[in-house]
Amino acid sequence: MSSDGIVVGNSATSECNSVAIGYSADALRHAVAIGHEARANDKSVAIGYQACKDVTGDYVVCIGAGSGPSYDVDKSQDHMVYLGSSSDTVYIPGNLIVGKSTLLGSRAVNDGHTYPVFLKAHNKDQWSDWVYLGTDDYKGGDDNFYRTNPITVGPFTLGPSDSFSDRRLKFVGKEFSSGLDKIKELKVYNYTFKKDKSKTPHVGVIAQDLQKVFPSAVKKGTDGFLTIRMEEMFYAMINAIKELDLKYQAQEKRINDLEKQLQKQDARLKLLESKIK
| pLDDT at residue 167 tops 80 | yes
> Does residue 196 surpass a pLDDT of 90?
no
Distance of CA 220 to the CA centre of its chain: 24
| Least confidently predicted of 21-35, 69-83, 95-109 | 95-109
**What's the confidence (pLDDT) of residue 130?**
54
Q: Where along the chain do its domains lie?
A: 1-88, 96-170, 180-231
Average pLDDT, integer, range 20-45: 95
Average of per-residue pLDDT values in the chain: 82
pLDDT at 179 over 60: yes
Report the pLDDT value the prediction gives residue 157, as an integer from 0 to 100.
Answer: 60
**Percent above pLDDT 70 for the chain:** 76
Is residue 4 very low, low, confident or very high in pLDDT (cuts 50, 70, 90)?
confident
Phi-psi region of 108 (alpha: psi -120 to 50; beta: other; left: phi over 0): alpha
Q: How far apart are CA 32 and CA 47, in angstroms?
A: 8
pLDDT score at 224: 86
Question: Are 79 and 59 a contacting pair, CB within 8 Å?
Answer: yes
Contact 47, 34 (CB under 8 A): yes
Given a cut of 50, whether residue 64 has pLDDT beyond it is yes
Q: Please tell me the predicted confidence (pLDDT) of residue 148.
A: 47
Q: Given the DSSP bridges, would you call strands 39-40 and 61-63 parallel, antiparallel or unpaired?
A: unpaired
Q: Is 211 helix (H, G, I), strand (E, B) or coil?
A: helix
